[in-house]
Amino acid sequence: METSKILNGKDVAEYINHKSGELVQKLKAQNIHPGLVVILVGDDPASAVYVRSKGRMCEKLGILSATHTLPATTSETELLELISNLNNDQAYHGILVQLPLPDHIDEQKIIEAINPLKDVDCFHPKNVGLLTIGTPYLLPCTPAGIIEIFKYYKIATNEKDVVIIGRSNIVGKPVANILLQKSEFANATVTVVHSRTKNISKYTKEADIIVAAIGQPAFLTADMIKEGAVLVDVGINRVDDSTAKRGYRLMGDIDYADVYEKCSAITPVPGGVGPMTISMLMRNTIQATIKQTDANL
Protein backbone atom coordinates (compact mmCIF):
# COMPACT_ATOMS: atom_id res chain seq x y z
CA MET A 1 0.00 0.00 0.00
CA GLU A 2 2.64 2.47 1.08
CA THR A 3 6.34 3.04 1.23
CA SER A 4 7.82 4.73 4.24
CA LYS A 5 10.92 4.50 6.40
CA ILE A 6 8.88 4.49 9.58
CA LEU A 7 6.58 1.48 9.54
CA ASN A 8 3.56 2.86 11.33
CA GLY A 9 1.69 0.00 12.97
CA LYS A 10 -1.17 2.30 13.96
CA ASP A 11 -1.97 2.97 10.30
CA VAL A 12 -1.83 -0.72 9.41
CA ALA A 13 -3.94 -1.64 12.45
CA GLU A 14 -6.53 1.00 11.55
CA TYR A 15 -6.74 -0.32 7.98
CA ILE A 16 -7.26 -3.89 9.20
CA ASN A 17 -9.63 -2.93 12.02
CA HIS A 18 -11.82 -1.15 9.51
CA LYS A 19 -12.10 -4.35 7.47
CA SER A 20 -12.75 -6.34 10.66
CA GLY A 21 -15.57 -3.98 11.66
CA GLU A 22 -17.20 -4.51 8.26
CA LEU A 23 -16.95 -8.30 8.65
CA VAL A 24 -18.56 -8.12 12.08
CA GLN A 25 -21.50 -6.23 10.55
CA LYS A 26 -21.88 -8.86 7.82
CA LEU A 27 -21.91 -11.61 10.45
CA LYS A 28 -24.43 -9.76 12.59
CA ALA A 29 -26.72 -9.46 9.57
CA GLN A 30 -26.74 -13.28 9.66
CA ASN A 31 -27.45 -13.21 13.39
CA ILE A 32 -23.91 -14.35 14.21
CA HIS A 33 -22.30 -12.31 16.98
CA PRO A 34 -18.53 -12.83 17.40
CA GLY A 35 -17.51 -13.09 21.05
CA LEU A 36 -14.16 -12.98 22.85
CA VAL A 37 -13.57 -13.79 26.51
CA VAL A 38 -10.36 -12.74 28.24
CA ILE A 39 -9.10 -14.17 31.52
CA LEU A 40 -6.68 -12.16 33.65
CA VAL A 41 -5.19 -13.77 36.75
CA GLY A 42 -3.36 -11.59 39.28
CA ASP A 43 -2.50 -7.91 39.20
CA ASP A 44 0.41 -7.42 36.83
CA PRO A 45 -0.08 -3.76 35.79
CA ALA A 46 1.11 -4.23 32.19
CA SER A 47 -1.26 -7.19 31.70
CA ALA A 48 -4.15 -5.16 33.10
CA VAL A 49 -3.43 -2.41 30.54
CA TYR A 50 -3.40 -4.92 27.66
CA VAL A 51 -6.61 -6.59 28.80
CA ARG A 52 -8.42 -3.25 29.06
CA SER A 53 -7.37 -2.26 25.56
CA LYS A 54 -8.58 -5.60 24.19
CA GLY A 55 -12.01 -4.97 25.71
CA ARG A 56 -12.13 -1.45 24.28
CA MET A 57 -11.21 -2.64 20.78
CA CYS A 58 -13.90 -5.36 20.90
CA GLU A 59 -16.44 -2.71 21.76
CA LYS A 60 -15.28 -0.46 18.93
CA LEU A 61 -15.60 -3.25 16.35
CA GLY A 62 -18.89 -4.62 17.67
CA ILE A 63 -17.43 -7.84 19.08
CA LEU A 64 -19.06 -9.14 22.25
CA SER A 65 -16.46 -9.27 25.01
CA ALA A 66 -16.17 -10.32 28.62
CA THR A 67 -13.26 -10.20 31.03
CA HIS A 68 -12.81 -12.52 34.00
CA THR A 69 -10.44 -10.87 36.46
CA LEU A 70 -9.31 -13.42 39.03
CA PRO A 71 -7.11 -12.95 42.11
CA ALA A 72 -3.45 -14.09 42.03
CA THR A 73 -4.40 -16.79 44.55
CA THR A 74 -6.74 -18.54 42.06
CA SER A 75 -5.91 -22.25 41.94
CA GLU A 76 -5.06 -24.14 38.78
CA THR A 77 -8.19 -26.27 39.27
CA GLU A 78 -10.42 -23.20 39.48
CA LEU A 79 -8.91 -21.79 36.31
CA LEU A 80 -9.30 -25.12 34.49
CA GLU A 81 -12.94 -25.23 35.55
CA LEU A 82 -13.59 -21.74 34.20
CA ILE A 83 -11.94 -22.65 30.88
CA SER A 84 -14.02 -25.81 30.65
CA ASN A 85 -17.20 -23.76 31.12
CA LEU A 86 -16.13 -21.23 28.51
CA ASN A 87 -15.21 -23.99 26.05
CA ASN A 88 -18.89 -24.97 26.20
CA ASP A 89 -20.26 -21.42 26.11
CA GLN A 90 -21.59 -20.77 22.59
CA ALA A 91 -21.54 -17.00 23.12
CA TYR A 92 -17.73 -16.94 22.95
CA HIS A 93 -15.77 -18.03 19.90
CA GLY A 94 -12.41 -16.95 21.28
CA ILE A 95 -10.80 -17.54 24.68
CA LEU A 96 -7.64 -15.70 25.68
CA VAL A 97 -5.81 -16.33 28.94
CA GLN A 98 -3.46 -13.40 29.50
CA LEU A 99 0.12 -14.52 30.12
CA PRO A 100 2.20 -14.65 32.22
CA LEU A 101 0.25 -16.57 34.87
CA PRO A 102 1.23 -16.71 38.56
CA ASP A 103 4.04 -19.21 39.26
CA HIS A 104 1.83 -21.81 40.95
CA ILE A 105 -0.18 -22.32 37.76
CA ASP A 106 1.19 -24.55 34.99
CA GLU A 107 0.90 -22.30 31.94
CA GLN A 108 1.17 -25.13 29.43
CA LYS A 109 -1.59 -27.10 31.13
CA ILE A 110 -3.87 -24.07 30.90
CA ILE A 111 -3.08 -23.48 27.22
CA GLU A 112 -3.82 -27.13 26.46
CA ALA A 113 -7.19 -26.92 28.25
CA ILE A 114 -8.52 -24.33 25.77
CA ASN A 115 -10.63 -25.74 22.94
CA PRO A 116 -8.25 -25.43 19.93
CA LEU A 117 -11.11 -23.98 17.85
CA LYS A 118 -11.38 -21.10 20.36
CA ASP A 119 -7.61 -20.64 20.70
CA VAL A 120 -7.32 -17.14 19.21
CA ASP A 121 -3.72 -16.84 20.49
CA CYS A 122 -2.75 -19.92 18.48
CA PHE A 123 -0.77 -21.24 21.48
CA HIS A 124 -2.40 -24.69 21.73
CA PRO A 125 0.02 -27.47 20.63
CA LYS A 126 -2.48 -28.60 18.01
CA ASN A 127 -2.50 -25.13 16.42
CA VAL A 128 1.27 -24.73 16.80
CA GLY A 129 1.61 -28.08 14.99
CA LEU A 130 -0.76 -27.05 12.20
CA LEU A 131 1.24 -23.85 11.67
CA THR A 132 4.51 -25.78 11.66
CA ILE A 133 3.37 -28.14 8.90
CA GLY A 134 2.06 -25.24 6.83
CA THR A 135 -1.72 -25.64 7.31
CA PRO A 136 -2.47 -23.08 10.05
CA TYR A 137 -5.84 -22.82 11.78
CA LEU A 138 -5.10 -19.18 12.66
CA LEU A 139 -1.83 -17.25 12.88
CA PRO A 140 -0.59 -16.13 16.31
CA CYS A 141 -1.31 -12.44 16.82
CA THR A 142 2.06 -10.70 17.12
CA PRO A 143 3.73 -12.70 14.33
CA ALA A 144 0.68 -12.19 12.09
CA GLY A 145 0.88 -8.46 12.84
CA ILE A 146 4.48 -8.34 11.64
CA ILE A 147 3.51 -10.05 8.37
CA GLU A 148 0.68 -7.54 7.86
CA ILE A 149 3.13 -4.66 8.33
CA PHE A 150 5.32 -6.19 5.61
CA LYS A 151 2.32 -6.56 3.30
CA TYR A 152 1.07 -3.02 3.87
CA TYR A 153 4.47 -1.46 3.22
CA LYS A 154 5.31 -3.86 0.37
CA ILE A 155 8.35 -5.34 2.10
CA ALA A 156 9.13 -8.59 0.37
CA THR A 157 10.49 -11.46 2.45
CA ASN A 158 10.80 -13.81 -0.53
CA GLU A 159 14.44 -15.03 -0.75
CA LYS A 160 15.50 -12.59 1.99
CA ASP A 161 17.83 -13.42 4.87
CA VAL A 162 15.83 -12.85 8.05
CA VAL A 163 17.38 -12.97 11.50
CA ILE A 164 15.06 -13.30 14.48
CA ILE A 165 16.49 -12.38 17.86
CA GLY A 166 14.64 -14.37 20.51
CA ARG A 167 13.19 -17.90 20.62
CA SER A 168 9.97 -17.46 22.63
CA ASN A 169 6.86 -19.50 21.89
CA ILE A 170 4.87 -16.26 21.53
CA VAL A 171 7.09 -14.47 19.01
CA GLY A 172 10.46 -15.91 17.96
CA LYS A 173 9.48 -19.48 17.08
CA PRO A 174 6.16 -18.69 15.35
CA VAL A 175 7.68 -15.80 13.34
CA ALA A 176 10.32 -18.26 12.15
CA ASN A 177 7.65 -20.84 11.27
CA ILE A 178 5.57 -18.34 9.32
CA LEU A 179 8.49 -16.88 7.35
CA LEU A 180 9.65 -20.39 6.41
CA GLN A 181 6.34 -21.20 4.71
CA LYS A 182 6.20 -21.72 0.99
CA SER A 183 4.14 -18.65 0.22
CA GLU A 184 4.45 -15.26 -1.41
CA PHE A 185 4.76 -13.36 1.89
CA ALA A 186 7.23 -15.83 3.39
CA ASN A 187 9.85 -17.89 1.52
CA ALA A 188 12.60 -16.38 3.67
CA THR A 189 15.87 -17.92 4.83
CA VAL A 190 15.41 -17.77 8.57
CA THR A 191 18.02 -17.75 11.33
CA VAL A 192 16.99 -17.63 14.98
CA VAL A 193 19.55 -16.28 17.46
CA HIS A 194 19.04 -16.07 21.22
CA SER A 195 20.63 -15.54 24.63
CA ARG A 196 22.95 -18.53 24.16
CA THR A 197 24.11 -17.62 20.65
CA LYS A 198 27.89 -17.12 20.74
CA ASN A 199 28.08 -14.13 18.41
CA ILE A 200 24.74 -12.49 17.63
CA SER A 201 26.25 -9.68 15.49
CA LYS A 202 27.81 -12.21 13.15
CA TYR A 203 24.26 -13.08 12.03
CA THR A 204 22.54 -9.71 12.34
CA LYS A 205 25.24 -7.97 10.26
CA GLU A 206 24.32 -10.17 7.29
CA ALA A 207 20.54 -9.87 7.63
CA ASP A 208 18.20 -8.15 5.17
CA ILE A 209 15.47 -8.13 7.82
CA ILE A 210 15.86 -8.32 11.60
CA VAL A 211 13.05 -9.07 14.04
CA ALA A 212 14.12 -8.17 17.59
CA ALA A 213 12.14 -9.93 20.31
CA ILE A 214 14.41 -10.51 23.28
CA GLY A 215 13.07 -8.09 25.88
CA GLN A 216 16.30 -6.12 26.36
CA PRO A 217 16.02 -2.35 25.93
CA ALA A 218 18.05 -0.90 23.02
CA PHE A 219 19.84 -4.22 22.45
CA LEU A 220 20.31 -3.87 18.69
CA THR A 221 22.70 -1.07 17.73
CA ALA A 222 23.94 0.37 14.42
CA ASP A 223 27.22 -1.56 14.51
CA MET A 224 25.21 -4.82 14.49
CA ILE A 225 23.30 -4.20 11.23
CA LYS A 226 24.09 -3.80 7.56
CA GLU A 227 23.25 -0.67 5.59
CA GLY A 228 19.62 -0.74 4.41
CA ALA A 229 18.35 -3.48 6.72
CA VAL A 230 14.64 -3.59 7.59
CA LEU A 231 14.16 -3.60 11.36
CA VAL A 232 11.14 -4.87 13.30
CA ASP A 233 11.07 -4.10 17.01
CA VAL A 234 8.81 -6.34 19.10
CA GLY A 235 10.23 -5.16 22.46
CA ILE A 236 8.07 -3.20 24.90
CA ASN A 237 10.40 -2.57 27.83
CA ARG A 238 9.55 -0.27 30.71
CA VAL A 239 12.63 1.77 31.60
CA ASP A 240 12.78 4.14 34.57
CA ASP A 241 12.50 7.79 33.56
CA SER A 242 12.01 10.40 36.26
CA THR A 243 11.07 13.02 33.65
CA ALA A 244 8.10 10.93 32.44
CA LYS A 245 4.72 11.40 34.09
CA ARG A 246 4.37 7.70 34.92
CA GLY A 247 7.98 7.41 36.09
CA TYR A 248 8.90 5.14 33.17
CA ARG A 249 8.91 5.17 29.41
CA LEU A 250 8.59 2.43 26.83
CA MET A 251 11.67 1.39 24.92
CA GLY A 252 12.02 -1.27 22.28
CA ASP A 253 14.75 -3.88 21.80
CA ILE A 254 16.33 -1.67 19.12
CA ASP A 255 18.35 1.49 19.76
CA TYR A 256 16.13 3.55 17.45
CA ALA A 257 18.20 6.77 17.34
CA ASP A 258 21.40 4.83 16.74
CA VAL A 259 20.14 2.67 13.84
CA TYR A 260 17.78 5.16 12.17
CA GLU A 261 20.17 6.54 9.52
CA LYS A 262 21.61 3.14 8.65
CA CYS A 263 18.40 1.11 8.22
CA SER A 264 15.96 1.38 5.31
CA ALA A 265 12.82 0.89 7.44
CA ILE A 266 11.95 0.47 11.11
CA THR A 267 8.92 -0.06 13.35
CA PRO A 268 8.85 2.50 16.18
CA VAL A 269 8.07 1.73 19.84
CA PRO A 270 5.37 2.56 20.71
CA GLY A 271 3.22 2.59 17.57
CA GLY A 272 4.87 -0.20 15.59
CA VAL A 273 4.17 -3.87 16.25
CA GLY A 274 2.18 -3.14 19.45
CA PRO A 275 -1.09 -1.92 17.86
CA MET A 276 -0.97 -4.86 15.43
CA THR A 277 -1.26 -7.52 18.12
CA ILE A 278 -4.74 -6.41 19.22
CA SER A 279 -5.80 -5.87 15.64
CA MET A 280 -4.83 -9.48 14.82
CA LEU A 281 -6.60 -10.72 17.94
CA MET A 282 -9.81 -9.11 16.68
CA ARG A 283 -9.30 -10.64 13.24
CA ASN A 284 -8.62 -14.07 14.78
CA THR A 285 -11.78 -13.81 16.87
CA ILE A 286 -13.79 -13.10 13.74
CA GLN A 287 -12.09 -15.92 11.81
CA ALA A 288 -12.66 -18.34 14.70
CA THR A 289 -16.32 -17.30 14.71
CA ILE A 290 -16.61 -17.97 10.99
CA LYS A 291 -15.00 -21.41 11.42
CA GLN A 292 -17.30 -22.34 14.32
CA THR A 293 -20.57 -21.22 12.74
CA ASP A 294 -22.36 -21.61 9.43
CA ALA A 295 -21.48 -18.07 8.42
CA ASN A 296 -22.01 -17.40 4.75
CA LEU A 297 -19.62 -14.74 3.43
| Sites of contact with ligand GUN (CB under 6 A) | 96-99, 121, 141-142, 170, 277
Return the amino acid letter for 147: I
- Say whether the peptide bond before residue 45 is cis (omega within 30 degrees of 0): no
Query: Between residues 165 and 263, which has the closer beta carbon with respect to ligand GUN?
Result: 165
Question: How would DSSP label each residue in 126-191?
Answer: HHHHHHHTT--SS--HHHHHHHHHHHHTT---TT-EEEEE---TTTHHHHHHHHHSSSTT---EEE
Tell me 117's DSSP state.
G
Query: Between residues 32 and 97, which has the closer beta carbon with respect to ligand GUN?
Result: 97
Return the amino acid letter for 152: Y
Minimum distance of ligand GUN from residue 281's CB (angstroms): 7
HSE of 209 in the Cβ direction (CA atoms, 13 Å)?
Answer: 25
Query: Between residues 34 and 174, which has the closer beta carbon with respect to ligand GUN?
Result: 174
Please give the Cα distance from 12 to 74 (Å, whole number).
38
Minimum distance of ligand GUN from residue 171's CB (angstroms): 8
Show which residues are catalytic.
Answer: 54, 98, 121
Query: Between residues 188 and 276, which has the closer beta carbon with respect to ligand GUN?
Result: 276
Minimum distance of ligand GUN from residue 68's CB (angstroms): 13
